[in-house]
Structure 1
């Protein structure tokens, strides 16, 4: 299904949810359209490709796709790269670290001249006269990890940051208000996911310091519901800033030999 997040007549942001068929993890895909030209964000893999192409047709013709953005290298992010390169003239934006990994998803020679490496500090992208900001989110959860900030809609497309999944959960749900945010955290796997996947308290603090200087009205992650309104965003930042995660939580018990028998 699709959800129109923003539309001022010339600038649109669209979310696509629940398109994954089969046993793969559910993931959201996004499209930003400005003056008829588009950027597709984290398009997913083969489980989403055909359904996403069909859903996009209501808003946008693939021939006008300028960019495909990949927040990092995971299959649920960009394993469908070959399909988009085949049917469009778009270029793929991905971290410098992953430019030589991307061809493994594609036919030989398909990526030649079609991949733009994102430098560690991020970059600005011009989409039909409107600047979009690609901002660093390193080690959240991947080295060479980025997010997209749209200054028109004031939406931060946050990738895996903010992921929240629970069986039967409606990914198009919008969480608004500090109390609703706290309740949603308690009802989903949000805390557990971030403690396992994020890169440590230092990373959380550095990213939050950056985010507090941005005019964010809506955090829209790749998995699960989104977080709308300044009160909700501030509650999110307050929670994430002090989060212990990843290497913070490891002890010697996590590195043992011999390995316990399992099968």
Structure 2
């Protein structure tokens, strides 16, 4: 049975993390579920590798007919490739950047599109760049801008009850701590290479950090690797705000013609 980490529980509100549904295949990924009374929201559910074990694990914990939202931080396969199966087998709405809402139906087979017809597109809720507040029973879920970190249409999600910020690829780590990060200095090496390549620029990082500081989240939980709580939240934000990444690191030498080509490409 898959291990379920309880990140928050108070009365009828809980936040769950699934970190080990698939072992030895692809990049480690976390999936998250927020449950409030009979309603549930699933965050970054992953692709076909995770669909069956996640569906089984969730079925033991919630009633799938109460799954109201699937929240997709962006369009990558490890985020949302399982979309057609969730749409076929639940009544959920899929929340994603408006930039990607017209692309997601391409993930579906002709069988799924034929079965669902126009209902497929109507179940995808495209969110404008500024984000949105989603009703969630007697509470809310916040969709917050995180564009270019790394996708051009990218969101973080915030649960104001637990004060947990679901940051997608921001804060992701490969090979470091997979639970709560306890030694931030040691954890940096597992984040640095990924962030320097996948995050667009320091400007985007600083703007996101400035927004997040106003929230004061209790935890920041990325899609890959460990998560930050308590004092480690501030340490992570400080680190990210100072990080040179993406286009900051580009030079003319990064855009050059292949020297090993035998063809003469000179313009006559």
- TM-score (normalised: structure 2): 0.90
Residues 49-58 or 18-27, more deviating = 18-27
Q: C-alpha separation between the residues in 2 aligned to 1:71 and 1:157?
A: 9
- Residue 60 of structure 1: aligned partner: 62
Map 1:110-259 → 2, pairs under 5 A: 111-166=120-175, 171=178, 173-176=179-182, 180-186=183-189, 188=190, 190-229=191-230, 231-258=231-258
Instruction: Report how many residues are paired.
Output: 252
Structure 1 or 2: more helix by fraction: 2
- Match in the other structure for 2:264: none
Offset of residue 23 of structure 1:
3.0
For the 8 Å contact 1:92–1:116, the answer to whether it is kept is yes
Distance change (3 Å), C-alpha of 1:89 and 1:242: same
Per the normalisation by structure 1, the TM-score is: 0.92
Separation in structure 1 between the aligned mates of residue 145 and residue 80 of structure 2, nearest angstrom: 18
Q: Where does residue 265 of structure 2 map in the other structure?
A: none
Larger Rg: 2
1:260 shift after superposition = 4.8
The 8 Å contact of residues 94 and 125 in structure 2, kept in 1 or not, is answered as yes
- Name whichever of 58-67 and 137-146 sits farther off: 58-67
The Cα of 1:151 is off from its aligned counterpart by 1.0
Partners of 1:88 and 1:128 lie apart in 2 by 18
Structure 1 stretches of 4+ with a deviation exceeding 3 A read: none
Deviations 1:108-153 (A, max 9, x none): 2362310101110000011111111110000000011001111111
